Structure 1
Amino acid sequence: MSTLPTPAIALPEIADMAADDRHAALTYLNDAWVEAVREGLEEDCLVQAALFTALRSLVATYGETASAEYMARVAERVAAGEYTVAGLTH
């Protein structure tokens, strides 16, 4: 039996790193989006390309079943207004 102390796992730091990574990823994607719109691409084309790319990666990483379940939850959140920008309802 080891008498060495067990190091504490720094969960807040890991969570902070994940949040930082997500923020950086969102910044990269937003910058690319803005540049594409400036270059004249229609946002509808960007939306479709971004969703296709994201879904392809999601399925490759987690498989069809888990991805479909995740997307069902996303659909519920969209319907609940979680992705609606204030003042831009349809």
Structure 2
Amino acid sequence: MSASLFAVFGLGPPEILLLLVLGVLLFGRKLPDIGRSLGKTVVEVKKGLKGIEDEVSEPGAQRAAIEPEPIKAPTRVTPSNTPKFDDSPAPASVPPKL
């Protein structure tokens, strides 16, 4: 399976060996950590796909249809206590200082 994957990219054994040597030279001591995190990522992706497959393949569990709320006609809102503006100035209790 992996050989056919490399064949898709046109990589032969010499190219794969060169990539492995470059990987060891560049990442060296971090290769175990990189492999471990890559393995955890693959496991999590497989778990997620398995969960999705389980949801899709369950014939007995039907999903509840979400019904939208009925559309209501618009209502006109008129405030009952509209503010009244008076053009006359308010009586001044203290005269202005000059």
* TM-score > 0.5, shorter chain as reference: no
**Higher normalized contact order (CA 8 Å, seq sep 6+, divided by chain length):** 1
Give me the TM-score of the superposition, normalised by structure 2: 0.29
